[in-house]
Structure 1
Amino acid sequence: MKAIAQDGYGPPQVLELRDVDVPTVGDTDVLVRVRAAGVDPGVWHLTTGLPYPVRLGYGLRRPRHRIPGMDLAGVVEAVGRDVTRFALGDEVFGTGTGSYAEYALAPEGKLAPKPAALTFEEAAAVPVSGQTALTAVRDAAKVRPGQRVLVIGAGGGVGCFAVQLAAAAGAHVTGVCGPTKLDLVRSIGADEVVDHTREEITDRGIRYDVIVDTAGNRPLSSLRRALTRKGTLVLVGGEAATGRWLQGFDRQLRALLLSPLVGQRLVPLVARESSENLAALAALVDAGRLRPVLDRTWPLADAAAALLHVWGGHARGKNVLAVAGPTGR
């Protein structure tokens, strides 16, 4: 099969299109013929091996899994003997291992039936970013009707989902983004938008019940000033910072230590991936309350260019790889 592979950690240019063997199906595995795969900052971290603590779980000197990619949407090709929820030919979406390939393995508990209203490309945009946003808005922040919610990085992959989920929960949503994404963020449900190149989040004198920060480049002190006394700050990643050891994740560690000492809840997010979460997102899609926002669709061979595009902060919503060429519903 065709796959994107790497022999060692490094910039996206280490990724190469190769012919490799189809993975062997274990007893609890689902083998998916991948139609599309999502591109997100998490893949960047696993490709570069940065920050260094990433390597503790994925291989100290070289990646344990040579084929990157987590998000996927496709068709079930085979199932292990202990799999009961899926059968040959089912259309699915979710997270697996090595999705930048024509075939990938995924555990049964991290897949769900693909929403019929979505193309494979649209469905592949949902699993990682959608579940991250769901964990942030529903589980960590527990957003309620009438609350003021600020989403920083509202035009990115996670941000676009967070805006829609907060709006669906009945909150008054303000999205922070660059000038080229203002109309996009309004179109997906933000009541107000803030152009971060023209004003800072504290300039308006408004305090928010919930702040979901996906950008990673503001100090905790600034974020706390924009939060109500009993408000909740959810920190999603730290991609905007530099450094080889912790990058922006030192901010999450400081938030964890500070939270018990102040009235505000400062929550470093740990996203949960499950078929139940995917089903919840699919139900919102079916109800017309959630839609993936696609920036660009790239051929599999251009995986490195797609990663560079996303990491550079250029994405408007999600980017995906069309593994089997553009597909329909």
Structure 2
Amino acid sequence: MTTSIPFSTDAATPAVPRTMTAAVARRFGGPDVVEVTQVPTPEPRADEVLVRVRATTVSIADHRLRAADLPRGLGFLRIVALGAFRPRKPVLGMEAAGEIVRVGADVTDFAVGERVMVMRGSAMGCHAQYVRARAGGAVVPIPGAMSYEDAAAILFGGYTAVSFLDRVELQPGTRVLVNGASGAVGTAAVQLAAAAGAHVTAVTSARNADLVRSLGAERVVDYLSEDFAAGDDRWDVVVECVGNAPFTRVERVLAPGGALLLVIADGPSMLRERSQSRRSGLLVTHEGSVFGKAALERVAAHAAAGELRPVIDRTFDLDDIARAHRYVDTGRKRGAVVVRVP
């Protein structure tokens, strides 16, 4: 018989088992290193809530941590960021959508039963039935009647896009190019830029053209047949979500005072960005500028206003999470790969 953690004596409070099902990677490697097993259920601290996870995603971040696949020039960070011989965070998953089942003694702004979105970021832990989150951190109510799957789908891309786009001033007429417009971050960036009145150019494959147009892109560049950096067009903002458009490639297509937002950047690009910014008068950065609850509140507000909608490529059950990793590893996903947590 399963016993429950005695967080509360309130009969209306849901029972929480001492162990939970989670997807665990105890060594680096391919998708098959991820196994579904039982682990101890986390217990919330006084300033935390415990969330019953209903949906999460497998993102590029999960791929990198599972496979120890860091961008070029960042291998020296492996031990600190990932772990020496095995993943430092064996339960992956940066974000989750679910409902609160426990609140800590010091928590006053959340209640049991409330539907919430959680962004744990590098703390990971969301590929499991339960996850804890600091009430004052990146946890906010799910807007309206949005499903758990839809809420999970907008989290990683929406949070990242909000953080990076906060570095620039988007207004009607701003020319924005999104390289890698069909991924989780790219689809969010296209929508948020279009909602601000920007003229959005989306770089993706021809098969994704209809998708990115439906999200607000005015022009689509098929990277298989056209090099956006070789023409005469200029953009005020380039959002780089692929890793193949460093400053040396796109400097000539950035308008005076423009910005290159390096969502994906390698070590050499990070080291050079300050000198490139000073020399060119452009903004070159691999860092966002708004994080935590503030960023997540913006994601929820954009979703509530209809400015950010989920793009779900495929949905898997937690028991099939290795298949989800395998699909993400192809590099061909569109939007989010959602994992249901039954």
- When the two structures are superposed, what TM-score results if normalisation uses the length of structure 2? 0.87
Match for residue 156 of structure 2 among 121, 128, 147: 128
User: CA separation in 2, counterparts of 1:31 and 1:157?
Assistant: 26
Query: Please, what is the CA RMSD of the aligned residues?
Result: 1.7
> How many angstroms does 1:224 deviate by?
1.0
In structure 1, what is the equivalent of residue 47 of structure 2? 28
- Alignment partner of 1:14 is 2:21: no
> How many angstroms does 1:161 deviate by?
0.3
What's the % identity of the aligned pairs?
A: 40
User: CA separation in 1, counterparts of 2:176 and 2:338?
Assistant: 28
Match for residue 333 of structure 2 among 306, 315, 318: 315
Match for residue 176 of structure 1 among 203, 209, 215: 203
> How many angstroms does 1:192 deviate by?
0.8
- Alignment partner of 1:148 is 2:166: no
Match for residue 288 of structure 1 among 275, 295, 306: 306
> How many angstroms does 1:223 deviate by?
1.2
Match for residue 78 of structure 1 among 83, 86, 102: 102
- Alignment partner of 1:195 is 2:219: no
User: CA separation in 1, counterparts of 2:177 and 2:323?
Assistant: 31
Instruction: Tell me the SS of whatever aligns to 2:321.
Output: helix
Work out whether residues 117 and 286 of structure 1, in 8 Å CA contact, stay in contact via their aligned partners in 2.
no
> How many angstroms does 1:57 deviate by?
3.5
> How many angstroms does 1:3 deviate by?
0.7
In structure 2, what is the equivalent of residue 116 of structure 1? 144
Instruction: Tell me the SS of whatever aligns to 1:316.
Output: coil
AA at the equivalent of 1:161: A
> How many angstroms does 1:177 deviate by?
0.4
Per-residue deviation, residues 50-77 of structure 1 (Å, max 9, x unmatched): 3231431343332332211111000101
In structure 2, what is the equivalent of residue 98 of structure 1? 125
Instruction: Tell me the SS of whatever aligns to 1:126.
Output: helix
Match for residue 61 of structure 2 among 31, 39, 42: 42
In structure 2, what is the equivalent of residue 279 of structure 1? 297
Work out whether residues 155 and 316 of structure 1, in 8 Å CA contact, stay in contact via their aligned partners in 2.
yes
Instruction: Tell me the SS of whatever aligns to 1:56.
Output: helix
AA at the equivalent of 1:10: G
Per-residue deviation, residues 113-164 of structure 1 (Å, max 9, x unmatched): 0112421001011222211101111x11222221110011011100000001
Work out whether residues 154 and 177 of structure 1, in 8 Å CA contact, stay in contact via their aligned partners in 2.
yes
Work out whether residues 179 and 202 of structure 2, in 8 Å CA contact, stay in contact via their aligned partners in 1.
yes
Instruction: Tell me the SS of whatever aligns to 1:202.
Output: helix
Q: Who wins on radius of gyration, i.e. which is larger?
A: 2
Work out whether residues 154 and 311 of structure 2, in 8 Å CA contact, stay in contact via their aligned partners in 1.
no
Instruction: Tell me the SS of whatever aligns to 2:111.
Output: coil
Work out whether residues 128 and 273 of structure 1, in 8 Å CA contact, stay in contact via their aligned partners in 2.
no
Runs of at least 4 residues off by over 6 Å: none
- What are structure 2's unaligned runs of at least 5 residues? 1-19
Instruction: Tell me the SS of whatever aligns to 2:127.
Output: coil
In structure 1, what is the equivalent of residue 254 of structure 2? 227
User: CA separation in 1, counterparts of 2:139 and 2:212?
Assistant: 28
User: CA separation in 1, counterparts of 2:221 and 2:97?
Assistant: 33
Work out whether residues 153 and 176 of structure 1, in 8 Å CA contact, stay in contact via their aligned partners in 2.
yes
Task: Count the aligned residue pairs.
Answer: 314
User: CA separation in 1, counterparts of 2:171 and 2:276?
Assistant: 25
> Judging changes above 3 Å, is the alpha-carbon distance between structure 1 residues 300 and 257 closer, same or farther for their aligned structure 2 residues?
farther
In structure 2, what is the equivalent of residue 298 of structure 1? 316
User: CA separation in 1, counterparts of 2:237 and 2:116?
Assistant: 33
Work out whether residues 92 and 114 of structure 1, in 8 Å CA contact, stay in contact via their aligned partners in 2.
yes
Instruction: Tell me the SS of whatever aligns to 1:176.
Output: strand
> How many angstroms does 1:311 deviate by?
3.2
AA at the equivalent of 1:314: R
> How many angstroms does 1:190 deviate by?
0.5
User: CA separation in 2, counterparts of 1:323 and 1:249?
Assistant: 36
- What are structure 1's unaligned runs of at least 5 residues? 239-247, 325-329
